[in-house]
Amino acid sequence: MGGDHGPSVVVPGVAQAVAGLSGVRFLLHGDEALLNAELAKSPAARAVCEVRHTDKSIAMDEKPAQAMRRGKGSSLWNAVEAIREGEAAACVSAGNTGALMAISKLILRMGANLERPAIVASWPTLRGVSAVLDVGANVESDADQLVEFAIMGAAFHHAVHGSERPTVGLLNVGSEDQKGHEEVREAHAILKDANLEFDYRGFVEGTDIAKGTVDVVVTDGFTGNVALKTAEGLARFFSNEIKTTLTSGPLAMLGALIASGALKKMRRRLDPGRVNGGPLLGLNGIVVKSHGGADALGFASAIRVAVDLARSDFSAEIDRNLKRLTKTAPPAAQADADESKAEGASGAEGQGVSE
């Protein structure tokens, strides 16, 4: 029932997704009258869907705390609960992000040995698609959490974007070891010495995201959210400029008409809908958030992300890396790290740390 369009996007989205998938079945949680009306129009979706009726749903602007209190029995709640009950392998929702996060944490709980969840974004780059996380589950992250994000992001990229041994970078304001604040420098020190199932490439900068320098870009949820939304804003600004430019006069319009095939192809390549689907990583179960404004193509893409994750050994890979991490950094080393953290960091070279 979630998102800007509800069942009128979800059902056609299912139909588009199953065209390229076999053996996947869907439980649709929500108003059965609305859902059945959409299913009647789409035999492909009807063949793989079962409707679970509820007349309760969570509004897009409902506060997460309120959604947690009042959300029981809503379509969103039931979809997440179906994972815990073993009825579903994953949940996809275009609904209220804060509510989805809060209810998923409540029902599914954090995965073993993981501290915090993270939302991961798939980002189109010059070289393909990179995973950027966290883009909004947290407002700050300490070094250990950044290390967890690296491990979860690598497992995600492997499962969904197919990299054999993902490359991972830590987002910072420069590439030298002494750059940045305490949290990133500490996470860098841990990752540099850990022997994990991915290639840690050190610090990367904002420019590296679109370049695709690494498969996985790790950052705290505040910085990641701002970077993602800044990029979204800029993408809209550019589209707008191109449109204005190519309709600015008869010659420009003629040129645009002639080049329209190529321009359409470009727009498709840059379309965020093509890489829609941001999983909430770190929970005991797979929950994928679709953009609220996504169309059927975008919703289908989010479904494919959920299926790829469910069919991968994503959780086992995270477990293995968390265990390797404990081996490389024994309790003594951890205590040292905590101590140096308590001492505070010295402001290095014109980039002072103010505390």
Residues 145-204 contacting a second copy, CB under 8 A: 145, 171, 173, 179-181
**Contact with a second copy (CB under 8 A): which of 57, 78, 93, 138?**
138
Whose Cβ is closer to a second copy: residue 37's or residue 252's? 252
**Contact with a second copy (CB under 8 A): which of 257, 323, 340, 344?**
257
Question: CA-to-CA distance for 161 and 268, rounded, in angstroms?
Answer: 18
Give the number of other CB atoms < 10 A from CB of residue 345: 17
**Contact with a second copy (CB under 8 A): which of 33, 41, 47, 63?**
63
**Contact with a second copy (CB under 8 A): which of 54, 130, 141, 290?**
141
**Residue 344 interacts with a second copy (CB under 8 A): yes or no:** no
**Contact with a second copy (CB under 8 A): which of 21, 27, 48, 222?**
222
Whose Cβ is closer to a second copy: residue 12's or residue 285's? 285
Whose Cβ is closer to a second copy: residue 22's or residue 354's? 354
Whose Cβ is closer to a second copy: residue 40's or residue 270's? 270
**Residue 221 interacts with a second copy (CB under 8 A): yes or no:** yes
**Residue 93 interacts with a second copy (CB under 8 A): yes or no:** no
Whose Cβ is closer to a second copy: residue 73's or residue 352's? 352
Binding mask 224-253 for a second copy (x = CB under 8 A): -xxxxxxxxxxxxxx-xxx-xxx-xx-xx-
**Contact with a second copy (CB under 8 A): which of 33, 112, 270, 333?**
270
- Smallest gap from Cβ 68 to a second copy, in A, equals 8
Whose Cβ is closer to a second copy: residue 269's or residue 327's? 269
Instruction: Please report, as residue ranges, which positions from 111 to 130 form the binding site for a second copy (by CB under 8 A).
Output: 115-116, 125-126
**Residue 110 interacts with a second copy (CB under 8 A): yes or no:** no
- Smallest gap from Cβ 141 to a second copy, in A, equals 7
